[in-house]
Amino acid sequence: MAITPPELTEALRRVEPDIQDLAAAARAVVLDVIGPCYEQIVSMSRVVSVLYSSTGKPMKDNICALVVYRGHVNLMFVRGVDLKDPSGLLEGSGKAIRHVKLRTPADVDTPAVRRLIAQATKREGLAKPDTPLRTTQTSVKSRTVEPGQPAWPRLF
C-alpha cells in the first residue's frame, strides 16, 4: 500500500477513521493503476479532494479525483461520460462528470474500478509530462469555500 503523505493525513483528520482508511485504500489503488503522476490535495471546508493528473495542470490533464466526504469517498472522473462501464458502477447525470461511490473497503480494489481508472489514463486529449516521472509529485492547495458555494470547482 502507498504511504499516505502527512499533508493528506492532516487534511483527513476531520473525518472518521474508517473513512480515512477508505480514502487511503482508494489512493493506493489509484496510484497502483496510474503509476507516478501529479497529485494535488485540496482541502475545503466540508470535503477533501485529491486530484490526479498526467501533468502539473490538475484540471486540464485530470485523470481522476478522490473526493472525501463525511460518510464515503467518491472516485470522480471528469470525462466519465466517455468511459465504458459494463459493470454499471458509474453514477451521475451531468454532461461529463461521473463518479463511483466507495462506501466500504470491498468497493475499492475491484477489477471494475481498476479498469475505469486505466481507461481514464488513456482518454483523448490527455497530455503527457515533458519528462517521465519517477515518483508521484504531491502538492497541497488550501481553499475555504464560502457558504452556499459548490465544493467542487465548475469545470464547464
- 1-19, pLDDT tens digit by residue? 578 888 999 999 989 999 9
What share of the chain has pLDDT > 70, as a percent? 90
Q: Is the pLDDT of residue 139 over 60?
A: yes
In 10 A of CB 39, how many CB atoms? 24
Count of domains observed in the chain: 1
Mean pLDDT confidence for 81-110: 94
In a domain, 65, yes or no: yes
In a domain, 151, yes or no: no
In a domain, 149, yes or no: no
Task: Output 95 or 154, whichever has higher pLDDT.
Answer: 95
Q: Which of 61, 50, 28 is nearest to 130 (CA)?
A: 61
Q: Is the pLDDT of residue 156 over 50?
A: no
Task: Output 128 or 152, whichever has higher pLDDT.
Answer: 128
Question: For position 126, what pLDDT does the model report?
Answer: 85
Q: Is the pLDDT of residue 91 over 70?
A: yes
In a domain, 73, yes or no: yes
DSSP the chain: -PPPPHHHHHHGGGS-HHHHHHHHHHHHHHHHHH-S-EEEEEE-SS-EEEEEESSS-TTTTEEEEEEE-SS-EEEEETTGGGS--TT---B--SSS-EEEEE-SHHHHS-HHHHHHHHHHTT-TTPPPPSS--SS-EEEEEE-PPPTTS-SSPP--
Q: Which of 124, 39, 46 is nearest to 81 (CA)?
A: 124
Q: Is the pLDDT of residue 153 over 70?
A: no
Residue span of the structural domain in which 82 resides: 6-141
CATH number for the domain that contains residue 122 = 3.90.1150
Task: Output 67 or 138, whichever has higher pLDDT.
Answer: 67
In a domain, 15, yes or no: yes
In a domain, 53, yes or no: yes
In a domain, 156, yes or no: no
pLDDT band for position 124 (50/70/90)? confident
In a domain, 83, yes or no: yes
